[in-house]
A = this chain, B = another copy of it.
Amino acid sequence: MREVNAAGGTSLAVSADVSKEQEITGAFERIRRELGDTAVLLYNAAMRPFGTLMETKPSTLENTWRVGAFGAFLSAQQVVASMLEKREGVILFTGATAGVKPFPTSAAFGPAKFAMRGLAHVIARDLGPKGIHVAWINVDGAIDTPFIRQRFPQIKDEDMLKPSAMAETYWHLAHQDPSAWTMELEVRPFKEKF
A180 adjacent to chain B (CB < 8 Å): yes
Shortest distance between the CB of A174 and any CB in chain B (Å) = 12
A122-B104, A172-B169, A176-B169 known; A133+B53 contact, CB < 8 A: no
* B residues in contact with A56, CB < 8 Å: 73
In the bound assembly, the distance between CA atoms of A34 and B98 in angstroms comes to 38
Chain A interface residue count: which class? 35 or more
- B128 and A119 within 8 A (CB): no
A189 adjacent to chain B (CB < 8 Å): yes
**What are 12 A-to-B residue pairs whose CB atoms are below 8 Å?**
A53-B126, A53-B127, A102-B122, A102-B125, A103-B125, A110-B121, A125-B194, A129-B190, A168-B172, A178-B190, A179-B189, A180-B188
A residues adjacent to B (C-beta < 8 A): 21, 52-54, 56, 58, 61-62, 65, 69-70, 73-74, 76-77, 80-81, 84, 98-99, 101-107, 110-119, 121-123, 125-129, 131, 133, 144, 158, 160-162, 164-166, 168-169, 172, 175-191, 193-194
